[in-house]
Amino acid sequence: MGNLNNTVSWITGATGSIGSAISTLLAKSGSNVVVTDVDFDRAKNLSIQLNDLGFGVLPLQLDVSDKKAVESVGKVIKEKFGRLDILVNGAGISPKGENGRVPVEDINVEEWLRVININLHGAFYCSQIAARLMKENNSGHIVNIASQAGRSYSAITGAHYAVSKAGLISLTRQMAGELGPSGIYVNAVAPGRIETPMIKDVPKEVNQQIVNNIPLRRLGTPEEVANTVEFLVTPQSSYLTGVVIDINGGRLMI
Ligand SMILES: NC(=O)c1ccc[n+]([C@@H]2O[C@H](COP(=O)([O-])OP(=O)(O)OC[C@H]3O[C@@H](n4cnc5c(N)ncnc54)[C@H](O)[C@@H]3O)[C@@H](O)[C@H]2O)c1
């Protein structure tokens, strides 16, 4: 606790299962956390909970697919804190059909674009703003929440989701290469199946089948994802950039 004192963190999709675990852990570690989410009521509630515990948290409404709104959040962060040390791109959606994954031939173009706009373009917009702010101090950390679906074929998610996460991994590597000389680290985590409401989009038997194929024989937790993100934004990972850390209980070993 306390190793992120005097830092400013910005989490997108901050009120989701994984986002709120990350926001909570970074706040507990001493960071001033800006929690942004498309759902402002939930952002406010999360900030009230964390403020009650004595942590400095600022809630802001943000749809990451709205470039202008992303720029406004960057301005607020600059005015309020004067700096940005950590960005976690956590906002994401994974639309399913009634019976789980929508087959590639049935994904309509609007839905395809919606997923790419939020999961990939949103992270790109936020990272652009973050990179500009971080360059002012020649330091910073960007962590992208990718997915196992972006690493290999996924039997669960739609092609739009898998493509958005594969794109996010590529964006991670490109930004790591470009921003490394400015002291800015860019890494990704690729969670496998994590115990969150997102996994209830498919029948129980499907999740059980997945567990049977995981060497650790259980799903992961949001806190386990948060722990890895925290590792990536502290000096403990000081020679890691452009990496993708798989958090999947051994399900995918590459
Ligand atoms: N749950 C899993 O098994 C799993 C596995 C791999 C990766 N992930 C990724 O982890 C991240 C968090 O997932 P989660 O399971 O906590 O899901 P979640 O649905 O609980 O959280 C997603 C959050 O993103 C927010 N959001 C949605 N659209 C947005 C937008 N346009 N702008 C800003 N915020 C928006 C939602 O309001 C929500 O708070 C996502 O990027 C997801 O793709 C999840």
Q: What is the pLDDT of residues 110-139, one digit of tens each?
A: 999 999 999 999 999 999 999 999 999 999
pLDDT tens by residue, 60-100 = 999 999 999 999 999 999 999 999 999 999 999 999 988 78
Q: Which one-letter amino acid corresponds to residue 51?
A: N
SS percent in the chain: helix, strand, coil, step 5: 50, 15, 35
Averaged pLDDT, 192-198 = 90
Q: Give 195's Cβ-side CA count (13 Å radius).
A: 10
Q: What are 218's two structure tokens?
A: 């259980």
Residues with Cβ within 8 Å of 68's Cβ and at least 6 positions away in sequence, in order, are none
- Evaluate: CB of 202 within 6 angstroms of ligand 1: no
Using the predicted structure, report yes or no on whether residue 144 has a pLDDT greater than 90.
yes
As a whole-number percent, the residues of the chain with pLDDT over 70 amount to 99
Q: How confident is the model at residue 201 (pLDDT cuts 50, 70, 90)?
A: confident
233 touches ligand 1 (CB under 6 Å): no
Burial of 138 (0-12, 13-18, 19+ CB in 10 A): exposed
Pick the residue whose CA is nearest to atom 8 on ligand 1.
147
pLDDT surpasses 70 at 1: no
Over residues 38-45, the mean pLDDT reads: 98
Where b means 16+ CB within 10 Å and e means fewer, 70-102 reads: beebbeebbeebebbbbbbbbbbbbbbeeeebb
Q: Is 125 a catalytic residue?
A: no
29: pLDDT strictly greater than 90: yes
Residue 2 confidence (pLDDT): 61
Cβ–Cβ under 8 Å, residues 4 and 31: yes
Cα diameter, the chain? 50
159-172 tens-digit pLDDT: 999 999 999 999 99
Strand 140-145 relative to strand 32-37, pairing: unpaired
The second-level CATH assignment, the architecture, of 8-247 is 3-Layer(aba) Sandwich (3.40)
Asked if residue 4 has pLDDT above 60, the reply is yes
Mean pLDDT of 167-190: 99
Question: How do strand 244-247 and strand 184-191 relate by DSSP bridges?
Answer: parallel
Give the residue whose CA is nearest to atom 18 of ligand 1: 16
Domain ranges of the chain: 8-247
Ligand 1, pocket-test mutation among 15, 17, 34, 172, most atoms within 8 A of CB:
17
The residue whose CA is least distant from atom 20 of ligand 1 is: 16
CA gap 44, 38 in Å, rounded: 11
With a 6 Å cutoff on the Cβ, whether 131 touches ligand 1 is no
